[in-house]
């Protein structure tokens, strides 16, 4: 593979969303796989919609995901500046060349004139496009427009009758006719370039080898190819990755789950899990395995296995992947991440008063059951709180079985007399109840589970009880039995 230089070039017009993060990831993976450079460039020429807060959000999200870049905004490099609004002089130089060679021209048409042209073409069932009214203005005509106070834009002169073939790494050969394009604006009347123009100059000057981006940009590509040709620069390789759809096959939107990366951070997803999940949106591994660290993804990833058909965003799968990562993660790390959620609900005191040993013991149990860290407060309420509710009628019926009073009494006695409250001792004690009362396991363990937790499912009792402690455990049992008797 030739030298790989790829870039993620977000417009700071909103938070980093799932689709953008996936483009960034694929670029990152390709760069790392081939020892290339991953560059981040800010495309902020849309002045109305761009905001520094969005730039910060995007860069923070990338860093949170672990997609650090080798070159670009914030980190610098030899091809800067990496923010388009700081490159206006560079674009200007190229615009002058295009104007001098007659490949671009000033256009003075008003919005009204352009609207009329578009409507006339639509009425004739033709593609609405600019027909080149200002292509051949004389100096006199220009002066007249200037005198009227009209501010010109600069348009690129699209060569007629050309077939533009984009050899896309994902979609194969896609062709477009230049006749359908129409002379397009490259520089607005305020002197600021349009995306399609600035992107070409930047990708060329930054020596970008591969442009990997969302499918929505495929329709921009013929314009960009024409500009490369006009400037006499070779095109990079293009790869347009498919759209991300919701489970109902409509375009991914808030209805299908959060769309911004920061929201996933807030909801208690682990960055490693989100990265793993994003990689599977469009790329498929060779074998059955689906859990990959970023380093493993670098090894496994290849553009050949990036699919053309749309990727489906499956929230349940993301939760499953996240659960796998939570279970694999260091318990202390999860405890630290769980802290703010627990503090917010009042299940934990201020940082300095936290009993870390106890908290990690609780988290060691909880982490087996969480699919997001934010679920930790519900888990604590259900399994570690004193106020606990009987789950449902099924749970109530279990507690109304005739052997239950004896089982619970024996359990309480034995629990109080235990000298050491640790899992194996509790396990032994629970077993001894079956023997002493001469009952089958089901008649003992099921009601005890409900008596201690209020639920029919959940953590192993012998693991839960030592963490709860004898006193809390007995309080819970008394409260639950009272509820069952009502």
Q: For strands 5-8 and 37-40, give the pairing.
A: parallel
Residue with smaller CB distance to ligand GLU, 170 or 373 = 170
Residues in region 28-47 near ligand GLU by CB under 6 A: 43
Under rule CB under 6 A, residue 5 binds ligand GLU: no
Nearer to ligand GLU, 79 or 380 (CB): 79
Q: Which residue stretch of 3-11, 127-135, 237-245, 448-456 sits at the interface with ligand GLU (rule: CB under 6 A)?
A: 3-11
Q: Does the footprint of ligand GLU cover residue 458 (CB under 6 A)?
A: no
Biggest distance spanned by C-alpha atoms of the chain = 110
User: Minimum Å distance from CB 43 to ligand GLU?
Assistant: 4
Interface pattern 239-278 for ligand GLU (x via CB under 6 A): ----------------------------------------
Please give the residues from 179 up to 208 whose contact with ligand GLU meets the rule CB under 6 A.
Answer: 199
What residues between 123 and 152 interact with ligand GLU by CB under 6 A?
Answer: none
Please list, in sequence order, all residues whose beta carbon lies within 8 angstroms of the beta carbon of residue 371, skipping any fewer than 6 positions away: 319, 320, 322, 323, 326
Closest contact distance (angstroms) between CB of 113 and ligand GLU is 29
Question: Quick one: which of 190, 203, 224 has its CA closest to 84?
Answer: 203
Contact flag: residue 236 with ligand GLU (CB under 6 A): no
State the catalytic residue, choosing from 3, 254, 442, 457: 254
**Which of 217, 337, 412, 431 forms a contact with ligand GLU (CB under 6 A)?**
217
* 382 close to 376: Cβ distance less than 8 angstroms: no
Q: Taking CB under 6 A as the rule, does residue 213 contact ligand GLU? A: yes
- Nearer to ligand GLU by C-beta: 43 or 410? 43
Q: Does 11 bind ligand GLU (CB under 6 A)?
A: yes
Residue 7 forms beta bridges with which residues? 39
Q: Rounded to 10 degrees, what is the CA torsion of 361, 367, 373, 376?
A: -60
- Count CB-CB contacts under 10 A for residue 138: 8
Identify whether 412 is a catalytic site residue. no
Q: How many CA atoms lie within 13 A of 185 on its CB side?
A: 15
Q: Is 84 in the site for ligand GLU (CB under 6 A)?
A: no
Q: Does 12 bind ligand GLU (CB under 6 A)?
A: no
Distance CA 185, CA 98 (A): 13
Stretch that binds ligand GLU, among 6-14, 116-124, 269-277, 401-409 (CB under 6 A): 6-14
Whether 130 and 117 have beta carbons less than 8 Å apart is answered as: yes
The site that binds ligand GLU (CB under 6 A) totals a number of residues, namely 7
Q: CB–CB of 287/394 below 8 Å? A: no
- Binds ligand GLU by CB under 6 A, chosen from 10, 72, 222, 282: 10
Q: Does 9 bind ligand GLU (CB under 6 A)?
A: yes
Q: Report whether the peptide linkage leading into residue 81 is cis, meaning its omega lies within 30 degrees of zero.
A: yes
List CB contacts of 428: < 8 A, sequence separation 6 or more.
none
Residue 454 to residue 461: CA distance in whole angstroms: 12
Instruction: Give the residues lining the site for ligand GLU (CB under 6 A).
Output: 9-11, 43, 199, 213, 217
Residue positions annotated with a catalytic role: 254
């Amino acid at each position: 593979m030739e030298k790989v230089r790829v870039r993620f070039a977000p417009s700071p017009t909103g938070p980093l969303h799932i689709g953008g993060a996936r483009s960034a990831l694929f670029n990152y993976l390709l760069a790392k796989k081939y020892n290339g450079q991953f560059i981040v460039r800010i495309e902020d020429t849309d002045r109305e919609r761009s905001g520094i807060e969005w730039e910060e959000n995007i860069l923070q999200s990338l860093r949170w995901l672990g997609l650090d870049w080798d070159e670009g905004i914030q980190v610098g490099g030899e091809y800067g500046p990496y923010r388009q609004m700081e490159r206006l002089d560079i674009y200007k130089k190229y615009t002058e060349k295009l104007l001098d060679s007659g490949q671009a021209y000033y256009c003075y048409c008003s919005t009204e004139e352009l609207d009329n042209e578009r409507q006339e073409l639509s009425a004739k069932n033709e593609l609405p496009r600019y027909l080149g009214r200002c292509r051949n203005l004389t100096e006199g005509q220009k002066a007249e427009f200037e005198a009227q106070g009209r501010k010109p834009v600069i348009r690129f002169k699209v060569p007629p009758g050309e077939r533009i073939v984009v050899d896309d790494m994902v979609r194969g050969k896609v062709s477009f006719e230049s006749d359908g394009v129409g002379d397009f604006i490259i520089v607005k009347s305020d002197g600021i370039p349009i995306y399609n123009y600035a992107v070409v100059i930047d990708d060329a000057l930054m020596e970008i080898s591969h442009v990997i981006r969302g499918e929505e940009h495929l329709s921009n590509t013929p314009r960009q190819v024409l500009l490369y040709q006009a400037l006499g620069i070779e095109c990079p390789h293009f790869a347009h990755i498919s759209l991300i759809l919701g489970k109902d096959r409509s375009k991914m939107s808030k209805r299908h789950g959060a769309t911004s990366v920061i929201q996933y951070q807030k909801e208690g997803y682990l960055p490693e899990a989100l990265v793993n999940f994003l990689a599977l949106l469009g790329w498929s591994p060779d074998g059955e395995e689906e859990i990959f660290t970023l380093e493993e993804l670098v090894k496994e990833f290849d553009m050949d296995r990036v699919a053309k058909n749309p990727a489906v965003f499956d929230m349940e799968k993301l939760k499953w992947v996240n659960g796998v990562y939570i279970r694999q993660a260091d318990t202390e790390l999860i405890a630290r991440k769980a802290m703010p959620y627990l503090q917010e609900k009042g299940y934990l005191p201020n940082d300095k008063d936290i009993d870390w040993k106890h908290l990690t013991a609780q988290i060691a149990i909880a982490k087996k059951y969480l699919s997001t860290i934010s679920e930790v407060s519900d888990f604590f309420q259900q399994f570690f709180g004193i106020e606990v509710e009987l789950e449902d009628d099924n749970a109530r019926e279990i507690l109304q079985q005739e052997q239950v009073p004896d089982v619970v009494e024996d359990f309480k006695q034995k629990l109080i007399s235990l000298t050491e409250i640790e899992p194996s001792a509790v396990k032994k004690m629970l077993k001894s109840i079956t023997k002493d009362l001469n009952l089958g396991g089901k008649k003992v363990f099921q009601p005890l589970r409900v008596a201690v937790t209020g639920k029919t499912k959940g953590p192993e009792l012998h693991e839960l009880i030592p963490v709860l402690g004898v006193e809390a455990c007995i309080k819970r049992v008394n409260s639950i039995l009272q509820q069952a008797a009502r």
